[in-house]
């Protein structure tokens, strides 16, 4: 079991008096080899390496639709919301049901343009993707993704929230084309 004495002993063994200096000392050799001087640079480098590994898995067909979707949205500066986000807002709320069957090689997300946020489906239907308790006629982008082996299929539809969501029109894309398509959410 670790206690404060163990931490103090570790700090003393590295000749430092705080946790940040300890991290710098412990990672000095690695940071020097990468030409980095701060912990934030090191964290950014780790994130770049992690994203490269995810991209490599996607290109090699060693990933899945959920990871592809998470990767695509993670690189954007948007928040994530649940259906309770709109509970206290005025106006009519509806459930938007997609025609797309839930399958392990697919994913679907709803991007709310005005609040720059992404919503995952509720899965209350168990058969098709569905978004519950959302403002009727809100401006959104409905994002459908399919990942089969090494092939990525994408459909992004600009629409308004309605009970019956539009059908996807998938287009096969490369990873670079996928990144380019998601740049529209950077604005």
Contact assessment for residue 185 and residue 143, using Cβ atoms and an 8 Å cutoff: no
In this predicted structure, what is the pLDDT of residue 134? 95
- Indicate if the pLDDT at residue 76 is higher than 70: no
- Relative to beta strand 117-119, strand 79-81 is parallel
pLDDT of 175 above 70: yes
Quickly tell me which residue has 């993670």 as its tokens.
74
Phi, psi for 103 (deg, rounded to 5): -145, 160
CA distances, 116 to each of 28, 78, 106, 183 (Å): 39, 5, 23, 13
Q: Order of strands across the sheet with 151-160? A: 79-81, 117-119, 106-112, 139-148, 151-160, 171-173
CA distance 12 to 25: 12
- pLDDT (tens digit, 9 = 90+) per residue, 85-144? 998 889 999 999 999 999 999 999 999 989 989 999 997 778 999 999 999 999 999 999
Q: Please tell me the predicted confidence (pLDDT) of residue 103.
A: 92
**What is the helix, strand, coil percentage profile of the chain, to 5?**
40, 30, 30
pLDDT at 1 over 60: no
CB 94 within 8 A of CB 136: yes
**Neighbour count for residue 130 (Cβ, 10 Å):** 20
Domain boundaries, the chain: 4-59, 65-186
Distance from C-alpha of 102 to C-alpha of 30, rounded to nearest angstrom:
44
pLDDT of residue 2: 60
pLDDT of residue 10: 86
- Give the Cα separation of 57 and 68 in Å (integer): 10
Task: Tell whether the model's pLDDT for residue 166 goes beyond 90.
Answer: yes
Judge whether residue 25 has pLDDT over 70: yes
* Average pLDDT over every residue of 40-48: 92
Residue 40 has a pLDDT of 93
Higher pLDDT, 126 or 182: 182
Amino acid 95: pLDDT: 94
Pairing of strands 139-148, 106-112: antiparallel
- Please say if the pLDDT value at position 75 is more than 80: no
Round the average pLDDT of the chain to a whole number and report it. Answer: 91
Say what percent of the chain tops pLDDT 90: 67
């Amino acid at each position: 079991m670790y206690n404060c004495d163990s931490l103090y002993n570790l700090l003393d063994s590295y000749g430092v008096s705080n946790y940040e200096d300890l991290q710098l000392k412990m990672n000095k050799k690695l940071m020097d080899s990468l030409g980095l001087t701060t912990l934030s640079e090191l964290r950014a480098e780790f994130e770049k390496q992690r994203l490269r590994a995810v991209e490599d898995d996607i290109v090699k067909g060693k990933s899945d639709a959920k990871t592809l979707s998470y990767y695509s949205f993670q690189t954007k500066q948007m928040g994530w919301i649940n259906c309770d986000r709109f509970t206290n807002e005025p106006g009519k709320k509806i459930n938007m049901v997609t025609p797309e069957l839930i399958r392990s090689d697919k994913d679907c997300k709803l991007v709310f343009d005005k609040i720059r946020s992404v919503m995952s489906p509720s899965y209350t239907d168990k058969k098709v993707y569905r978004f519950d308790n959302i403002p009727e006629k809100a401006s959104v982008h409905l994002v459908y993704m399919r990942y089969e082996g090494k092939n990525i299929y994408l459909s992004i539809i600009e629409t308004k929230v309605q009970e019956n969501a539009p059908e996807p029109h998938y287009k096969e894309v490369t990873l670079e084309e996928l990144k380019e398509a998601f740049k529209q959410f950077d604005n």
